[in-house]
Structure 1
Amino acid sequence: MNQIIIDVGIQENRVAVIENNELVEIYIEKDDNKRIVGNIYKGRVVNVLPGMQAAFVDIGLEKNAFLYVKDAIPKEMLSNKKLNLKDISIKDVIKSGQDIIVQVIKEPFGSKGARVTTHITIPGRHIVLMPYTDYIGISRRISNETERNRLKEIAESIKPENMGLILRTAVEGLGIEDFKDDIKFLLKVLNKIDSERNLGFAPRVMYKDLDLVHRTVRDLFTNNVEKLVINNRDEYKSIVELVEMISPQLKSRVEYFDLSYDIFGHFGISQDMNKALDRKVWLKSGGYVIIDETEALTSIDVNTGKYVGTINLEDTVLKTNIEAAKEIAKQVRLRNIGGIIIIDFIDMNNEEHEKEVLEILKNELKKDRTKSTVLGITQLGLVEMTRKKVRSRLTSHLLKECPYCDGTGRVYSEGFVIGLIEKEIKRLKLHTSAEAVILEVNPHIAKYLYDNNNYIIRRIEGEYGINMFIRESDSIHHNEIKVKNIGKVDFIKGILDK
């Protein structure tokens, strides 16, 4: 069963996409950090960088947006096969201080600002309008050649002059009458943008895409979805009105879920989301996959784990790699991992087996709406692939960097912390007349100090002739120690009581 489950919260809205009873996509939009991809801005060029063939554009966000030269050149020029981008400088296309209409095509990420383009597109339910490009495109998910030709004929008959259209997946099987309202709406939005082009000062927003809830209905709620469930009464009514307008035949599939229940818990989504944050993903066979995300790339390692097979080693490796290929395609989509991805499958000596695993990986990735490319196997036996970065990874929404380890995922070993304690005691003994100290540490370190009949404590005390009194504190993190010089041993009881 394919379902869309929408959880409307106080601070954020979450959308879960379920295919064949498995969670495959999660979308999260926070009130204070709404998605801006698709928004159109009147911006101002603040800096042109010929050395980078790009420019920075102020669109009113915290960080300036980034505009590449190929996104600044008019589309009709780019379609010229004789054109060589290397012969065009960004300074010949736009000037510093110039007002410019741009659209966000990539969210700000980390230290990077949003990426923008001058090639404006306006999405509707069935059609994406490209106002400044004379072009017709059809969703790659529509694979039947006869249907593609039929839709192309319809597109040519309804396409506004000197504009382009992309027909979305939802148009499959529709007739020309189904497109008219969409075209009318998109042209109305375009007229509004054009009429405001010379009004007001930059930077400012000229067009905002729909919020997550309504964008989900527009983009994902198709005939393939058996049910859309939402837990907010007002949003439920709003969705029903939108569905009545764009796809009335789907109205009966919209359901309201009682707000007093945890909708994600009821459908088992919370548990699947937690698994999507794990570094290790277990396979049904007993094998497992390790996923490590970094800023530069994502590495994925496949292991047989508990799976020992039944026939021979070659068969065991093949079955594990096939299962892993399916799981990797699912996890990449679920976690929304973008950029360079390196996969280390278990070594296969059979070339036919390698081809089979790669083919399965490619076929599974076709289920993903975000474009990915499998480049093949390197000389080191690693699979290289890329996936387009469209929105932030799931981990960036649900996790934050650890304040103790600064994102490394590791803390000092107990032995290293004991070394820090010893150095501090030695420093105190050399520069003060301390006879006793209070040592405040994390409970894990305290336990390590107490182990083996206080052997470490007695050894430090004997080495430096100083009395140590241990105080455990949950507020002290693993890497931290606090040593307080209390001078003479006679004062220890009074100070500890305080």
Structure 2
Amino acid sequence: RVRRQRQMCIRDSAKTMRDYAGLDTKRVIIDDLDAYNEAKAYCAATMPAMLERIHLHNGPGALFDMYDIDGEIESALETRVELPSGGWIIIENTEALTAVDVNSGRFTASTGLEETSVKTNLEAAHMLVKQLRLRGTGGLIVIDFIHMNEPENNQKIVNALNEGFESDRVPTQISGMSEFGLIEMTRKRVREPLDKLLTEVANPGTPVRIKTRGTVANELMRAVEKEACAGRPLVVRASPDVEHWFRARNAFLLERIRERLPVRVVLEADPSLTRERFTIGYLK
């Protein structure tokens, strides 16, 4: 079973290159030698210009930690996203559309209310480009920007969105800004949104979502890899459903850690833990 799981992961590296890599991709970093070789072989046959951009990470430290990938994922699962100047955006998904509300918070530019609105709206536009792409958001998107008085400022926001999505492979259409500060966008649905991939409904009939067992198991694996660098044997405790999922689906990842780092890792089920919690300690 472990061998079969590992082979599936390796095949996924070629699929990832096929679906996401292109001439605008500057760098691809892979931390598994077999998956790296598979990606190189795929690119040699189909997109040789990418070969020099594929790199193997075999240094100290976990790859996700180096680029704060977990932090980016957590941000993409949140409803509220902070902006640099102290404002924020609220992103809410419904069956019919995705609604975005822009708020300036307590930020006030020294030059006045209009400049505050422009600065916050521009920050929101740049953040939305990143968040909508990262979240895989498709369909109708309605954005409620802070009201601005000058038409040229409204156009700045529309231009910022158009420029941000210019290199995006997903077909995107952006309307002008209405007199009420609303911009409508449509993006083609090309994959499941990130929240549907990584979370599930906690209880039928409620809007509350929690991380799937697979999502938590992958987080657990990355945390184990980080702690294992210390070279001491570890005991990992997780909720029974996550522990079972990890052994059934992700056991090869634990084997990979054992191959790379000569560390004993013991995985135990702890009924007192909720799904999204796990603990890592040192074996005595």
Name the TM-score, length of structure 2 as normaliser: 0.65
- Find the aligned partners of 1:316 and 1:304 in 2 and give their Cα distance: 8
SS in 2 for 1:376: coil
Cα shift at 1:333:
0.8
User: CA distance change for structure 1 residues 232 and 367 in 2, over 3 Å: closer, same or farther?
Assistant: same
- For structure 1, the 5+ residue unaligned runs are 1-9, 14-29, 32-209, 410-473, 476-498
Within a 5 Å distance, the mapping from 1:183-222 to structure 2 comes to 212-222=12-22
Question: Structure 1 residue 401 and structure 2 residue 235: aligned?
Answer: no
Distance 1:220-1:408 versus aligned 2 partners, 3 A rule: closer
**Aligned partners of 1:360, 1:312: CA distance in 2, in Å?**
22
CA contact (8 A) 2:13 2:36 kept: no
Ranked by relative contact order (alpha carbons within 8 Å, sequence separation 6 or more), the top structure is 2
Match of 2:147 in 1: 347
Q: Which residue of 2 aligns with 1:293?
A: 93
Matched ranges for 1:224-373 at <5 A: 224-258=24-58, 262-373=62-173
Aligned counterparts of 2:188 and 2:43: Cα–Cα separation in 1: 30
Shift of 1:298: 0.5
Q: Distance in 1 between matches of 2:44 and 2:138?
A: 35
2:51 alignment partner AA: K
2:264 aligns with none
What per-residue deviation string (whole Å, max 9, x for no partner) do you get for residues 178-221 of structure 1?
Answer: xxxxxxxxxxxxxxxxxxxxxxxxxxxxxxxx964213323544
Structure 2 unaligned residues grouped into runs of 5+: 210-271, 274-284
In the alignment, is the contact (CA less than 8 A) between 2:13 and 2:38 conserved in 1? no
Q: Which amino acid aligns with 1:333?
A: R
1:322 Cα shift? 1.1
The residue identity in structure 2 corresponding to 1:313 is L
2:74 and 2:92 map into 1 onto residues whose CA distance is 16
Which residue number in structure 2 is paired with residue 375 of structure 1? 175
How many Å apart are 1:243 and its aligned residue?
A: 2.3
**Matches of 2:100 and 2:130, distance apart in 1:** 13
Cα shift readout 1:235-255 (whole Å, capped 9, x = no counterpart): 222222222223445434322
Fraction of identical pairs, as percent: 33
Q: Would you tell me which structure has more helix in proportion to its own residues? A: 2
Q: How far apart, CA to CA, are the structure 1 residues paired with 2:156 and 2:191?
A: 31
Aligned residues: 209
Q: CA deviation at 1:382?
A: 1.7
**CA distance in structure 2 between the aligned counterparts of 1:213 and 1:242, rounded to whole angstroms:** 9
Cα distance in 1 for partners of 2:68, 2:76 equals 13
Shift of 1:319: 1.0
Give the Cα–Cα distance (whole angstroms) in 2 for the partners of residues 349 and 12 of structure 1. 57
Amino acid at match of 2:15: R
Return the offset for 1:229: 1.5
In the TM superposition, what is the alpha-carbon distance from 1:343 to its structure 2 partner? Answer: 0.4
AA partner of residue 305 (structure 1): G
User: In the alignment, which residue of structure 2 is the partner of 1:127?
Assistant: none
**2: distance between equivalents of 1:329 and 1:227?**
20
1:285, distance to aligned residue in structure 2 (A)? 1.1
3-state SS in 1 of match to 2:170: coil
Q: How far is the alpha carbon of 1:12 from its aligned partner?
A: 9.7
**Whole-Å Cα distance in 1 between the matches of residues 177 and 5 of structure 2?**
44
Per the alignment, do residues 241 and 369 of structure 1 end up closer, same or farther by CA in structure 2, a change over 3 Å counting?
same
Residue 404 of structure 1 deviates from its aligned partner by 8.2
2: distance between equivalents of 1:249 and 1:353? Answer: 41
How far apart in 1 are the matches of 2:166 and 2:25? 18
> What per-residue deviation string (whole Å, max 9, x for no partner) do you get for residues 59-86 of structure 1?
xxxxxxxxxxxxxxxxxxxxxxxxxxxx
> Contact 1:376/1:385 (CA < 8 Å) preserved in 2?
no
The Cα of 1:356 is off from its aligned counterpart by 1.6
SS of residue in 2 equivalent to 1:377:
coil
Q: 2-side partners of 1:361 and 1:317: how far apart? A: 16
Q: Distance in 1 between matches of 2:64 and 2:40?
A: 21
CA deviation after TM superposition for structure 1 residue 348, in Å: 1.2
Q: TM-score, normalised by structure 1?
A: 0.38
SS at match of 1:243: helix
**Matched residue of 2:121: which SS?**
helix
SS in 1 for 2:192: coil
Letter in 1 for 2:87: G
**3-state secondary structure, aligned to 1:292:** strand
Supply the AA of the counterpart residue of 2:53. Answer: R
Q: Which amino acid aligns with 2:83?
A: L
Provide Cα deviations, 1:426-449, integer angstroms capped at 9, x if missing partner: xxxxxxxxxxxxxxxxxxxxxxxx
Question: 1:407–1:260: structure 2 CA closer, same or farther, 3 Å change rule?
Answer: farther
1:15-94 correspondence runs (5 A): none
